[in-house]
Structure 1
Amino acid sequence: MSGVHIEIGRPQETVRHWSAKSIYFSMLEAEQSARTKAESAGFLARQLSETNSHATGMPATMAQLDIWLAEHNQMVGRQYREYLAARKAGQPRRYFRSKSQALFFLRAVAPTKLVDGSWLYGLMKHWQDPRLASLLKIYLEELGDGVEAMNHVVLYRKLLKLNACEDWKNLDEQFFTQGAIQLALAAHTDSHLPEVIGFNLGYEQLPLHLLITAYELKELNIDPYYFTLHTTIDNAQSGHARAAIDAVREAMPVFADSADYMQRVIAGVKLNDVGLSTLDIIKQFDLQGEVVRILQSKANIGQFMHSDRCVIGGRTVNDWLKDQDQVAVFLHEMEKTGWVKRHHNPEDSPFWKVIAGDKAPMFGVFTGYEQQVIYDWIAGEAIESLPMLARLGRPWRMVEKQALAQDEARHKQYGNVYDFKSGHKLTHQLRQANDFNQDQLAFERHVHGIDDEQKLMHFLVDWMSPAKHYTPLGLCATRYFKSHMDSLF
């Protein structure tokens, strides 16, 4: 999982490198090992050291934060107006040249979006501390206050599912760095409270890329709600951007060294720079390279699955797929022999006909995301002239409506103590215990059987972790937790 090397010019010092991807998944396990704890602590310390020299526009004094917040939002608003004016004047999309590039982006940021808000989790065990009130509120809102339809991770998981982008776990190491940082902050909050507050301060400010992303996703028939939600909930007047500044003030020490506190807050802000930025990820997309990668991923199985009668460029398909380094050449041969007709309607290409459609010979071999990449690659320069339904798929509202209908049918069939859409408790109990609701019933009985407040809150907090809060029982725990907090204040 980790390695040691000697840096040139520093023969007496070893520098340890931790795998962000390994740490990411280890920290999402139900029980974290001592090794995971130690490695995540080292990983966090390394990132703090590497970002120490980074510049930041965040002011170093509490008195300047309000002015900075106003100026930042004015700047973002002005830049977004300029973007809209350019689009109205006929400029192309700034981020996503095609739907496949937008879907690539959704997959690539999944490791970060699927731990949304996680950096605040370590505060939850301090639920009685009034200095953390703003931060606790932010975390609960990231969890949708226990309402499935508003939980940020649930929303992103559904977005991935609707767009057939659920294979994000196979992404390269570089895409897990930011998510690993957030989980490490959650695990080491007791020793990094100012850094957690600072990271939250930087993360909750409205960025220009969020506004542009939402605008362009909608154009490409991709539901933008997850992104538009963040443009509203992070607003500077009453949203998370405002609460993040309040949190800095609320936790500022009265008798301790406030200058050191603010220095550590700024160090936390800089952690937002770790890993690939949104623009870095968007620029990484290479349509040709992604087609090659997709075919290479199928080669291990595909090299045994084709008939020897399938000959392209003098070689069988099985033979082409035996060597992954030959996949790019194989694609070129498919173009030469007419199996792929680039810059034309993909329906004119025999290769497309064998992989797309319910009755295609290779139905199910390629995911929806992979098919979109191949479609856009074949269409090439002709893509904007093709019918919208063919190149962008069904309108996202239609797809989402069908998915919601399926969810409602499932809830109606099995019932539940809570309505997982509204968050309100049902007036009737579950009709009958069965194999589908045993966990829910046992959870309810256990919660109502705990008569000690500290034990109850500890139990609920455990279920509100980044690994569990988006599950049915995690959502239920969040609602109980919020209900208890509301009764206290």
Structure 2
Amino acid sequence: MTLFTALSGQPASISHAGPGHYQRLYQQLYGEAQGAQDAARDFLQAQLAQVEDAPNELPDEPEQLHAWVEQRCAEVAQAYAEYLEQRQQGRPRRYFHNKAHALYVLQRVAPTKQVDGAWLYGLLRYWQDPRFDGLLTTYLEELGDGEAAQNHVVIYRKLLNQHDADSDAGLEDPHYLQGALQMALGLCGEEFLPEVIGYNLGYEQLPLHLLITSYELSELGIDPYYFTLHVTIDNASSGHACKAAQSVLNLLPLGEGRADFYRRVAQGYRLNDLGPGTTAIIKDFNLHDELVALLERKRSYGQHMHSDYCRFEGKTVNQWLALPGQIGAFLQALEDKGWIRRNQDPAESRFWQLIEGAGAAMFGVFSGYEKQVLHDWIAGDWISDRRVPPARPGRGKSLPQDPHPPADPDTQALVDSLRGLPDEQQLQTLIAWMSARRHCTPAGLYATRRFIQLRARLR
């Protein structure tokens, strides 16, 4: 995230190529479908054209990058200190009005978070070149060095699963842009090397929103570990931000191609500003509108499932659900008849009692996220000043360990395929299992661990 987006939250303009374009491309690249590399190349060229004339935030000389990173970090630290002081003086949360708001944001940034680090995938082929060490270390740390408990994608999926918020319902096409961009860079790393390095430089800076998000998620009882982990590893002194700046200097040509290389680095950096950033998504949230939207999405499934015993404003529930555009009026009718009591404990509302609790007639109809939206909408002011016990970083719901876990067929097949191969050929085989789609699987985690072992042995 570049400084402009980190401080203002305002995204650069987006080039739309038709409804669902980014989502379809995202699925094509993630699925490693035929033609993915050509599609990635065309996409990157189009997106680079979008940022060609955007303001350049990087210092004029690449040798100034380390000082520039340190200055940015100091500015973010100062802004965060001011935020903490405001909170201590009684100011409300800056980002999340309620838990539903936070889960809404976590859902909509999920397409990006679930391919975390993908822009560096194509650089694994340079495992022998020490100039790439910082970039490869960054990628391997995104993959948790092959340990599921530290793999960033595994952690994020666990976070969504803990709150039953892993659905992609309600996501809009622009939410897939950054994820598609990251995978495209990973597939075309050799051809777009300066742009990959520049994108990495921008993405690995510590943004203010990461610090505030971590603080406020904890207040709402949502485990902030995914975000606190990035706060520590993106530091400017020795973490990914420092490594990103040093990588530019390591790979900068010594001859006449230097200026053009750095220009392309700056273009790659600006790709971070495409699409809706985190703070823009935060600002987009409206609790009532989100409730209406999610009920509208469920309307077609429930329009024939209700009896005719209850009528609201002369209509049965099935009649209220029969046509689009009636959800807002239906909610008002429920409120007028006393089935929903706004700004009170939701447990006192008859409609909520149908959804939550032992023997609830509509148990299982709504996901955890959907129930949270409805709960917070009913509660309104009743819960706005109540504090939730802080979540413990890194500790979510744990499942009992199976002493005899089933063998994973992909892992076994990978192990078998490596048997008898020279170390360098093993490395080439392993790289395919460290892609955005595969690295978080059991076989991908094994491949990452084995890659690290072999790389260390061969160097």
Pick the TM interval, shorter chain: over 0.9
Cα separation, 1, equivalents of 2:417 and 2:361: 52
Aligned-pair CA distance for 1:400: 4.4
Q: Larger relative CO (CA 8 A, sep 6+): 1 or 2?
A: 2
Cα separation, 2, equivalents of 1:71 and 1:437: 47
Match of 1:21 among 17, 20, 23: 23
CA contact (8 A) 1:60 1:266 kept: no
- Counterpart of 1:432 in structure 2 is none
- Counterpart of 2:33 in structure 1 is 32
Instruction: Number of aligned residue pairs: give it.
Output: 443
- Counterpart of 2:12 in structure 1 is none
CA contact (8 A) 1:450 1:456 kept: no
Q: Partner amino acid for 1:445? A: D
Q: Partner amino acid for 2:376? A: D
Trace 1:215-230 onto structure 2 (pairs within 5 A).
215-230=215-230
Aligned-pair CA distance for 1:397: 4.5
Cα separation, 1, equivalents of 2:112 and 2:249: 27
Q: Partner amino acid for 1:413? A: H
Gaps of 5+ in 1: 1-14, 415-434
Superposition TM-score, scaled by structure 1 size: 0.87
Cα separation, 2, equivalents of 1:304 and 1:399: 43
CA contact (8 A) 1:152 1:226 kept: yes
Deviations along 1:242-269, whole A, 9 cap, x unmatched? 0001110111112341000000000000
Trace 1:300-379 onto structure 2 (pairs within 5 A).
300-379=300-379
- Counterpart of 1:58 in structure 2 is 58
Aligned-pair CA distance for 1:218: 0.3
- Counterpart of 1:188 in structure 2 is 188
CA contact (8 A) 2:25 2:180 kept: yes
Trace 1:165-204 onto structure 2 (pairs within 5 A).
165-168=165-168, 171-204=171-204
Q: Partner amino acid for 2:271? A: L
CA contact (8 A) 1:201 1:244 kept: yes
CA contact (8 A) 2:63 2:249 kept: no
The more displaced of 340-349 and 58-67 is 58-67
- Counterpart of 2:274 in structure 1 is 274
Q: Partner amino acid for 1:38? A: D
Match of 1:456 among 400, 414, 426: 426
Deviations along 1:315-374, whole A, 9 cap, x unmatched? 010111111211111111111111111111111111101011242100000001110100
Cα separation, 1, equivalents of 2:395 and 2:62: 44
Q: Partner amino acid for 1:134? A: G
The more displaced of 242-251 and 451-460 is 451-460
Cα separation, 2, equivalents of 1:154 and 1:471: 9
- Counterpart of 1:292 in structure 2 is 292
- Change beyond 3 A, Cα 1:160–1:89: same
Query: Which SS does the other structure have where 1:150 is aligned?
Result: coil
Aligned-pair CA distance for 1:132: 1.4
1:283 aligns with 2:286: no
Q: Partner amino acid for 2:416? A: R
Deviations along 1:207-257, whole A, 9 cap, x unmatched? 111000000000000001110010100111110000001110111112341
- Counterpart of 1:262 in structure 2 is 262
- Counterpart of 2:415 in structure 1 is 444
Aligned-pair CA distance for 1:488: 2.8
CA contact (8 A) 2:430 2:451 kept: yes
Q: Partner amino acid for 2:80? A: Y
CA contact (8 A) 2:41 2:188 kept: yes
Match of 1:486 among 452, 456, 459: 456
The more displaced of 314-323 and 36-45 is 36-45
Q: Partner amino acid for 2:254? A: V
Aligned-pair CA distance for 1:16: 5.5
CA contact (8 A) 1:206 1:231 kept: yes
Cα separation, 2, equivalents of 1:413 and 1:198: 45
Cα separation, 2, equivalents of 1:49 and 1:344: 52
- Change beyond 3 A, Cα 1:264–1:398: closer
Cα separation, 2, equivalents of 1:413 and 1:397: 29
CA contact (8 A) 2:198 2:265 kept: yes
Cα separation, 2, equivalents of 1:395 and 1:206: 23
- Counterpart of 2:11 in structure 1 is none
Q: Partner amino acid for 1:68? A: W
Aligned-pair CA distance for 1:44: 1.4
Cα separation, 2, equivalents of 1:133 and 1:95: 36
CA contact (8 A) 1:463 1:477 kept: yes
Aligned-pair CA distance for 1:285: 0.5
Q: Partner amino acid for 2:29? A: M
Match of 1:466 among 436, 443, 456: 436
RMSD across aligned positions (CA): 1.9
Deviations along 1:261-283, whole A, 9 cap, x unmatched? 00000000000000001110000
Cα separation, 1, equivalents of 2:169 and 2:307: 32
Deviations along 1:375-423, whole A, 9 cap, x unmatched? 000011212366x5xxx5x86449945x32x1x423x232xxxxxxxxx
CA contact (8 A) 2:408 2:442 kept: no
Deviations along 1:121-172, whole A, 9 cap, x unmatched? 0111222222211111110011011011111111101001111111026511
Trace 1:202-221 onto structure 2 (pairs within 5 A).
202-221=202-221
- Change beyond 3 A, Cα 1:385–1:254: closer
- Counterpart of 2:404 in structure 1 is 413
CA contact (8 A) 2:423 2:454 kept: no
CA contact (8 A) 1:60 1:263 kept: no
Gaps of 5+ in 2: 1-15
Identity, % of aligned pairs?
Answer: 44
The more displaced of 62-71 and 460-469 is 62-71
Cα separation, 1, equivalents of 2:414 and 2:181: 31
Q: After TM superposition, what 4+ stretches of structure 1 lie above 3 angstroms from structure 2?
A: 15-18, 394-401, 435-442
Cα separation, 1, equivalents of 2:424 and 2:59: 38
Trace 1:34-113 onto structure 2 (pairs within 5 A).
34=35, 36-113=36-113
- Counterpart of 1:418 in structure 2 is none
Cα separation, 1, equivalents of 2:431 and 2:196: 18
Cα separation, 1, equivalents of 2:33 and 2:191: 18
Query: Which SS does the other structure have where 1:364 is aligned?
Result: coil
CA contact (8 A) 1:162 1:400 kept: no
CA contact (8 A) 2:439 2:445 kept: yes
CA contact (8 A) 1:202 1:272 kept: yes
Cα separation, 2, equivalents of 1:78 and 1:44: 35
Cα separation, 2, equivalents of 1:261 and 1:198: 10
Superposition TM-score, scaled by structure 2 size: 0.93
